[in-house]
Amino acid sequence: MPALACCVDAAVAPPGYAFAGDSSLLAPPVQFSGALPATTDAATDAVENSSWTPALSAALYKIDGWGAPYFSVNSSGNISVRPHGSETLAHQEIDLLKIVKKVSDPKFLGGLGLQLPLIVRLPDVLKNRLESLNSAFEFAIQSQCYESHYQGVYPVKCNQDRFVVEDIVKFGSSFRFGLEAGSKPELLLAMSCLCKGNPEALLVCNGFKDSEYISLALVARKLALNTVIVLEQEEELDLVIDLSKKLCIRPVIGIRAKLRTRHSGHFGSTSGEKGKFGLNTTQIVRVVRKLEQAGMLDCLQLLHFHIGSQIPSTTLLADGVGEAAQVYCELVRLGAHMQVIDIGGGLGIDYDGSKSSESDISVGYSLEEYAAAVVQAIRYVCDRKSIKHPIICSESGRAIVSHHSVLIFEAVSASAYESPTLSSLGLQYLVEGFTEDAGSDYQNLSGAAMRGEYDTCLLYTDKLKQRCVEQFKEGSLSIEQLAAVDGLCDLVCKAIGAADPVRTYHVNLSVFTSIPDLWGIGQLFPIVPIHRLDQRPSVRGTLSDLTCDSDGKVDKFIGGESSLPLHELEGEGGGGDRYYLGMFLGGAYEEALGGVHNLFGAPSVVRVSQSDGPHSFAVTRAVPGPSSADVLRVMQHEPELMFQALKHRAEECGQDDGLANAAALASSLAHSFNNMPYLVAASSCCMTAMNNNGFYYYNKDDLNATAADSAAGEDEQWSYCCA
């Protein structure tokens, strides 16, 4: 008898039955793209794992494509951080799993006791991105005999975190690197940070402006900051002229031009003649004339444009830059004292490693090719017009901060298919409750199974299931019988390879809070297990977050995949090893856009730098994620009053049980307010401060020294900054 017929000849026993039957199946192997199918034999697993290598995992997850030169897989099968990019020496690499363990381990084990999810910031990577961008432009300028220089600005909207912005100002000081602001709060933070920056660094003021914004920008100029007010709307000019005269401050003015060049991708909606910001040619001419009449044409010194984020190719880039250079030269001809051409953002990164110019999540060029295309396009136009080469400015945010931040989260459980117990007596129990039609469907299913007709089996499986559901709704079929039918149908599907092999991994995360672009605009980020990459992934899975929302999931991955190769969870529910996943290249926008959906707050954050010694690192800052009280306060609740009300109720309800029980209830409530909203692992303890003079060191060669150092400076604790 065919194996599939054996499945149909044995049904699921109802609860309470324990029958032993022949449940062996000869199911065809289920193949899936990207990883090998699961095996059921432990010895086979061991053999196949022994032949699996970290290099195979690196290729499977395309790590060398999107991660180079900052991320790789080490010989232990863990993701390794290369903090200095291609210049990183072998002993300078940092094991990401060891960072996570030292941060999340309890204090008594030498850790910091921080709770996941976790953002790991890597300032060394940030520094390398700035250096690489400036080096690319410096090389292009020298090789093309360009007669001016490059000095970029960082648009703080990409990530306004204080320490990120301060790092950029510090690391970029020698390059005259500045900041771009698009709102009054952003302008205030930019002004404050640039007080410690290079005096020549630009402070570019973009966005819609009112009189307060413009007055603030003029004050920044009074404070000797190299401030440029960029006109996004024509009517802003009147405010600039009036306020500059009242404050007796001579402004530097820029114009944002609406170019005809259009970026047709998802991120190109701000480009073209109908873009949200900027002035068309008619408006630009009117601005020039009005400035001339006011005796302020010499104040016009910068031309800005933006053809969209993630510019896919240097062909489109050169087209837009060339058009802008023509506008720049015309402004010079009209008498403006032009100094700077600001090419805006658009320098893309390769999220999926495909190096494709046909994708919204990839780009078909390198940093060097980007810089060369910009310099060549400007030089060509200016040389033809005999115009002095301008300073080149760019507002590259995504390309600067994306790589420096890694979001780490844990898979806490996974759905799994459980093969039902089969027996002939169970079949009899099931069939007794069938109507004539359902019985006929069952006989047809059995006949198709005998003949090996798989498509027909599926047809009658669906029919049988639908009829039995109707019987259950009518009350003529018990829940045990319906469960048996479901089990039988699932088993048939699995036997013929039609069952869905994809599992759902439940992760301790909020997609809406930590990966809002994935939910909002379908932006894909590389997501990879950060360890066990020396083992063969045996299943495929999608990710489901903690939120009570059907959109709180990740079921689209780089490479066009609808699931991700994953490993089996070890010791699920029994305190086994944890399974950590990392989302990479998310340093831009995700933190700024994240909200408090379901009142899940931001992740914990640590700042990790490469330290002296082989494979060593220093945690120079650690901030626990917001507590439940913090996120409640964001939504105008008053946690202190809430706690008092609940404490009073606990005292009332605990009168019969004694004051001790009431106090215990109150203590439990206090912990609930003070803890993070995310799931807490059983081994986690209260969050503890960091010591050792503000640095926490971990050396691969000396685990015990870590705990000793941690205990040595008990009096020198960090002050955590909670939201």
User: Catalytic site residues?
Assistant: 548
**Euclidean distance between CA atoms 306 and 327, whole angstroms:** 14
Burial of 28 per CB tally in 10 Å (0-12, 13-18, 19+)? exposed
What values do phi and psi take at 580, rounded to 5?
Answer: -105, 135
Which of 175, 79, 92 has its CA nearest to residue 135?
175
Strands (DSSP E) found in 404-555: 405-414, 422-423, 502-507, 527-529, 539-544, 553-554
Which of 395, 7, 440, 478 has its CA nearest to residue 204?
395
**Euclidean distance between CA atoms 128 and 138, whole angstroms:** 15
**How many H-runs (helices) and E-runs (strands) does the chain carry?**
25, 24
HEC profile of 664-688 = HHHHHHHHHHHCCCCCCCCCCCCCC
- Strand 564-566 relative to strand 617-623: parallel, antiparallel, unpaired? unpaired
Q: Which residue has the tokens 């977050």?
A: 545
- Write out the two tokens for 585: 């290249």
Say if residues 113 and 157 touch (Cβ distance below 8 Å).
no
Collect all residues with Cβ–Cβ distance below 8 Å to 701 and sequence separation of at least 6.
Answer: 613, 614
Collect all residues with Cβ–Cβ distance below 8 Å to 47 and sequence separation of at least 6.
Answer: none
**Euclidean distance between CA atoms 229 and 154, whole angstroms:** 16
**Euclidean distance between CA atoms 363 and 309, whole angstroms:** 11
**Euclidean distance between CA atoms 583 and 654, whole angstroms:** 46
DSSP 637-658: --HHHHHHHHHHHHHHHTTTT-
**Coil, strand or helix: which one is 61?**
coil
- Write out the two tokens for 427: 């079949």
- Strand 604-610 relative to strand 527-529: parallel, antiparallel, unpaired? unpaired
Helix pair 236-247, 211-222: axis angle to 10 deg: 50
**How many CA atoms lie less than 13 Å away from 504 in the CB half-sphere?**
10
Say if residues 169 and 193 touch (Cβ distance below 8 Å).
yes
**Euclidean distance between CA atoms 142 and 150, whole angstroms:** 11
**Euclidean distance between CA atoms 151 and 648, whole angstroms:** 61
Nearest-5° Cα angle at 309, 154 to 364: 110
Which of 610, 413, 589 has its CA nearest to residue 518?
589
Which of 618, 626, 612 has its CA nearest to residue 710?
618
Say if residues 441 and 464 touch (Cβ distance below 8 Å).
yes
Say if residues 345 and 268 touch (Cβ distance below 8 Å).
no
- Strand 604-610 relative to strand 617-623: parallel, antiparallel, unpaired? antiparallel
**How many CA atoms lie less than 13 Å away from 532 in the CB half-sphere?**
17
**Coil, strand or helix: which one is 546?**
coil
Which of 350, 343, 353, 356 has its CA nearest to residue 402?
350
- Write out the two tokens for 598: 């379901």
**Euclidean distance between CA atoms 406 and 122, whole angstroms:** 8
Say if residues 91 and 399 touch (Cβ distance below 8 Å).
no
Count of all residues that appear for the chain in the document: 723
